[in-house]
Amino acid sequence: MTWLITGGAGYIGAHVARAMTGAGERVVALDDLSTGVPERLPDEIPLITGSTMDADLVKQVFAEHGVTGVVHLAARKQVAESVAQPTRYYRENVGGLATLLEGACEAGIERFVFSSSAAVYGNPDVDLITEDTPCAPVNPYGETKLAGEWLVRAAGQAHGMATVCLRYFNVAGAAAPLLSDTGVFNIVPMVFDRLTRNEAPRIFGDDYPTPDGTCVRDYIHVADLAEAHLAAARRLTRGGAAGDLTVNIGRGEGVSVRELITVIGEVTGDGRAPVVEERRSGDAPRAVASAARAAEVLGWRARRGVREMVESAWQGWQLHHGK
């Protein structure tokens, strides 16, 4: 078995590549380096620089590296950017996936793991989001992930390829400082950025119908997420009734924005009070995964808590940004 990991030099991709290699899997990475960092990958993992939209390159990688399975993570993933540039998101996220799947089907690839997102659900009014919760994405990013799931399942059914779609919830943390997220797009690095600039963290709305009035989310350590990919890949390798699976990847536990900021203050030693601003459009009061199916079909459970996420992310932030 040789697994191609697209987006393999990215924040999540490098964690997945290292987890799979560490477990004895053979891995090759493909990344256009728009956000990826080559130094995240150890020397033993081949890194091909290029895009999934390059059909000739995709075919070349499959042939030259004897690829037998794909873990597809390469995608654009910023919600606000997707609203401003919807055609780019459809072109790269859906078009790139279509090109990759065409090459995979032509090469006889039998296993495909797709990086999806809880954004496919939109803002459901439920206590726990299960895989059967209706999908109603509220932005182009979520739409491209849902369309990607449809495409993966259809290609799998048409060509006898076993597939798994993993719907991530909120990813944080790092397995090592070098592997940490270098962007400032998610809540943990956004709070770090405010504190580093000697500014108070921001809370967007504190009048939601939640215990402390702030939004509640399910946070997953990126190292746990990487292990979920390994579990999914091995589930497909075992064959049998793998078929086409859709699985939430979360802890099944909710943490409010105010609770998370409190933990960040404890870890950083900067516990200044957050400032409350107006709600942001589209924020759901609560979005927490049911993690039951992941345990049942993948034999996977998250092992790391929110404090470990924040502590490891803070170490990475200090390495990349200083204080």
Distance CA 206, CA 259 (A): 12
Q: What separation, in Å, do the N-terminal and C-terminal C-alpha atoms of the chain show?
A: 43
Question: Residue 106, SS3?
Answer: helix
Amino acid at residue number 231: A
Angle at 10 between CA 8 and CA 11, to 5 degrees: 125
Tokens standing for residue 309: 């996420």
The closest alpha carbon to 212, from 269, 274, 142, 268, belongs to: 274
Contact in structure between 267 and 310 (CB atoms under 8 Å): yes
Question: Residue 102, SS3?
Answer: helix
Distance CA 301, CA 64 (A): 35
Pairing label, strands 216-217, 162-168:
unpaired
Distance CA 233, CA 184 (A): 30
Torsion sign across C-alpha atoms 236, 240, 246, 249: negative
Distance CA 291, CA 228 (A): 11
Question: Residue 39, SS3?
Answer: helix
Point out the residues that are catalytic. 141
